[in-house]
Amino acid sequence: MNIKKSYLGIYNGFQLMGWGYILSLYIFESSIKRKWFEFSVQADIFLRLFQSLAVAEIIHSAVGLVRSSVMTTMLQVSSRLLVVWGILYIVPEVARDNLGVPLIVISWSIAEMIRYSYYVADICRVKLNLLTWLRYSGFMVLYPTGISGEVLLIVSGIKRLKETEEYSFNLPNALNCSLYYWFALVTILITYIPGSKTMYTHMMRQRRKVLQNCN
């Protein structure tokens, strides 16, 4: 195994373990506390950590380490980073009693565990038909549920930021213009409509191509 495959194997294996830990931690803590619509500080930290590490995948695509599209990878990673840093980190109170929490934690974790398992198996030249099917079919459920969770959290963040006017700069100021973080989030949320359609169409195209070859 060359250096490239060794690195990708370690990276994907590390991410697989990380997302498995996040899901296990969330289920364990939520079942004990009986609070499924929020997560602990520890789970939040690990969610931000392993999602932030995914920035490396944009670099992997850009330098040709993997064959993934740079634009689609950037679109998916950036939307999740917005949620974990731009919402959950800046406005942590929105994660309390919010349906978006279990939707993103469970959907993201299962999707990533499937994806990284598939990558590790591929690097090791192990072909598992069930894993291939899950890799290219699981998104049909997990992508809509994950996106729904993201939207719920962003909308909650917008409401909270608009009420408190946090991270907003009103006139007069040195820039001589008004800046509202909540309004920026509204603009980004609008892009979810074409963006999610583009991602879903791309994944459906991949699914048809891969599963046809398997048959």
Determine the 3-state secondary structure of 166 from DSSP: coil
Contacts of 115 by beta carbon, 8 Å cutoff, 6+ apart: 135
**Predicted pLDDT of residue 177:** 63
CA–CA gap between residue 77 and residue 60 (Å, rounded): 13
8 A C-beta contact, residue 74 and residue 58? yes
Q: Is 150 a catalytic residue?
A: yes
Q: Is 180 a catalytic residue?
A: no
Contacts of 70 by beta carbon, 8 Å cutoff, 6+ apart: 58, 61, 62
Q: Which of 57, 116, 150, 181 is catalytic?
A: 150
Q: Read off the pLDDT of residues 46-64 as tens digits, 9 standing for 90 and up.
A: 999 999 999 999 999 999 9
> Mean pLDDT, to the nearest integer, of 183-189?
94
Q: Read off the pLDDT of residues 102-123 as tens digits, 9 standing for 90 and up.
A: 999 999 999 999 999 999 999 9
Query: What separation, in Å, do the N-terminal and C-terminal C-alpha atoms of the chain show?
Result: 29
Q: Which of 7, 21, 143, 200 is catalytic?
A: 143
For residue 168, is pLDDT > 80? no
